[in-house]
Amino acid sequence: MDIWSAGVCLYALLYGNVPFKANQIGDLTNELYQQEIEYRDTVSDFAKDLMQGMLEKNVDQRLTAKEILLHPWFDDVESEIDIFDE
């Protein structure tokens, strides 16, 4: 699983835009690690903490899939969700 990409998607879902700015897609890869990510207060502290862990630039410190699923942001989610339930 690509944790970084999932973090970008979560950021976009919660904030309505991507965490990085660039004029062209090629510029994005070159400037990616030099930009600071802005985490506005329009989401919960748990959501910000989760995104920060998923978008950690150091891959060795980035959250794992298991750590993400155990994160407090998911505490209110049912343990089993059947999306095909009628």
Cα gap 34→16, rounded to integer Å? 22
Work out the widest C-alpha separation in the chain, in whole angstroms. 48
pLDDT digits (tens, 9 = 90+) for 14-68: 999 888 876 666 666 656 667 789 999 999 999 999 999 999 988 999 999 999 9
pLDDT digits (tens, 9 = 90+) for 5-28: 899 899 999 999 888 876 666 666
The domains found in the chain, sorted by start residue, are 3-74 (1.10.510.10)
Cα gap 35→21, rounded to integer Å? 8
